[in-house]
Structure 1
């Protein structure tokens, strides 16, 4: 096991449901300094675990463990933190309670403050649903978070993004004839169709047209779709995926008692220096929506990743995109926050 567990005890979620013996799986990189002010929080995205975040951490990179103490908390529902696949009855599998982004960040805040005694965070960074969590950190704890850097992720799930996630969910529902009482019959084999649905959204039209998958060693489109999309999704537990899809579909940094659904107000309340990096060809977390959000954050720069890798410009696969993200993070971390 290359990660640690933080026991949260019985947690009352935003829904009012109490999840007993909840826990966060997390991994840290580097050392916490004496002043406890060299902290970077880097939450995981939908379907990812801490290992998938490691491409952005390393000597000489912006997230340099020789300089920073980097905490990667795993999303609830991802199979490592409390999830349908690792929770005993009565909250196992399809019975797992609904968890919000607000819940996730609140519990991560407990990890950061209770376990480590941290009061200031230099940066919260994340891709996709990790990006939503970085916005949420900025909105939930404006005096604690000095910088945020969401990439390929919005501050809420805009309508079309909701529909994309709903299509992924529908592929699983179809496997049980849209009968929610049969959800516990789902197996990982049923995830194959979900991978196929997502294949059309994860990368741009230009990526497929230019057959960039050949550079990754795939001889044909069919080989690529089966070898990447089907394969990666069939490694996931379908109940974990349904839980994360719910979290994603209802993500909104203002959907909580602090902002009562006033999205613009939530954005205006973020005090952190922000670098918002959408993929300019992202098909479902669009640059246009990020632009709207960045305009309302008082100290935000809007810096799109010019790439034909679509949503996956932020996935750590394409070296040009990786360098763009890392360079922007270096610039952001070099800015003084007067704090």
Structure 2
């Protein structure tokens, strides 16, 4: 096991359920300095686990473990932290409670403060759902966050994004083997169908038009090879109930629902940390227009669009050009006074 577990006890969630014996899986990189002043939180994304974030960590990069203490907390529902697949009855499988972005960040804050005694973070950053958690950190715990860089994500899930996810959900649940979440074997047909639904959204039209999947670093021999090898390969190793639990968290992401705020505009306006907000130019479900609206309500924030044809997966660490663009922006933000 290459990660650690933080035991949280019984946790009351925003939607009223109490998650019994909650557990937060996490991994750290680098050493916490004596002043506890070099910490960065880098949350995971939909279906991703801590090792899927490691592409943005390395010597000479912005997230350099020789300089910073980097904490990657695994989202609830991802199979490592408390999830439908690993929670004992009666909250197992289809009975796993609803979890919000707010809940995830509250548990992460407990990890940071109770386990490590950290009061101030140099940076919170993340991709996709990790970007949503980044925003949530800045609103829920402004005193703890010096800077944020959310990339390819949003403060609130848009209606169009919700519709996309309805297709993902329908593909899994249409499989009779899903059995309303009480399956003994993974609903393989549904997971493969879900992968095909997702394939039309994760990358841009230009990506497919130019057959970029055939080039390095991906190097697939044909479209079908890509659909099977990349997309089915990505999701077939995941648990269906876990995917549906995280999907609910994603669909219901709303920074404006944070206690004490009257909507997303008010929540965004409360963020005082310097921010670079980074959408990808051809992201089909977190388009730059949504982030433009957010930045207009976010004091001191800069909109910086990731160019290129990789769509949402510009933020997935799959190609060195986009990785450098993100890393350079992180270096610039970390160099700023906050």
Shorter-chain TM-score: which interval?
A: over 0.9
Gaps of 5+ in 2: none
The answer as to whether partners of 2:175 and 2:187 remain within 8 angstroms in 1 is no
Structure 1 moving runs of 4+ over 3 Å: none
For residues 293-308 of structure 1, the aligned pairs below 5 Å read: 293-308=294-309
Q: Deviations over 1:64-94 (max 9, x none)?
A: 0011000000000000000000000001111
SS at match of 2:225: helix
The answer as to whether partners of 1:188 and 1:234 remain within 8 angstroms in 2 is no
Deviation at 1:183, TM superposition (A): 2.4
**d(CA) in 1 for partners of 2:34, 2:74:** 26
Gaps of 5+ in 1: none
**d(CA) in 1 for partners of 2:66, 2:234:** 32
Q: Deviations over 1:260-290 (max 9, x none)?
A: 4x11000000111111000000000110001
1:317 aligns with 318
1:187 aligns with 186
Q: Deviations over 1:98-144 (max 9, x none)?
A: 00000000000000000011110110000000000000001111121
2:255 aligns with 253
SS at match of 1:143: helix
SS at match of 1:85: coil
Is residue 30 from structure 1 mapped to residue 37 from structure 2 by the alignment?
A: no
Deviation at 1:256, TM superposition (A): 2.8
2:238 aligns with 236
**d(CA) in 2 for partners of 1:188, 1:81:** 22
**d(CA) in 1 for partners of 2:206, 2:168:** 22
Deviation at 1:258, TM superposition (A): 2.2
Q: Deviations over 1:29-59 (max 9, x none)?
A: 0111111111100000000000000000010
2:145 aligns with 145
Between the two proteins, the alignment pairs up a number of residues equal to: 334
1:213 aligns with 213
| TM-score (norm: length of structure 1) | 0.97
RMSD: 1.2
**d(CA) in 2 for partners of 1:122, 1:295:** 24
SS at match of 1:21: strand
The answer as to whether partners of 1:259 and 1:265 remain within 8 angstroms in 2 is yes
SS at match of 2:292: helix
Q: 1:218 to 1:324 in 2, by over 3 A?
A: same
The answer as to whether partners of 1:98 and 1:246 remain within 8 angstroms in 2 is yes
Q: Deviations over 1:139-186 (max 9, x none)?
A: 111121010000000111011111111110011121139xx9732127
**d(CA) in 1 for partners of 2:274, 2:113:** 21
**d(CA) in 1 for partners of 2:187, 2:243:** 10
SS at match of 2:142: coil
| TM-score (norm: length of structure 2) | 0.97
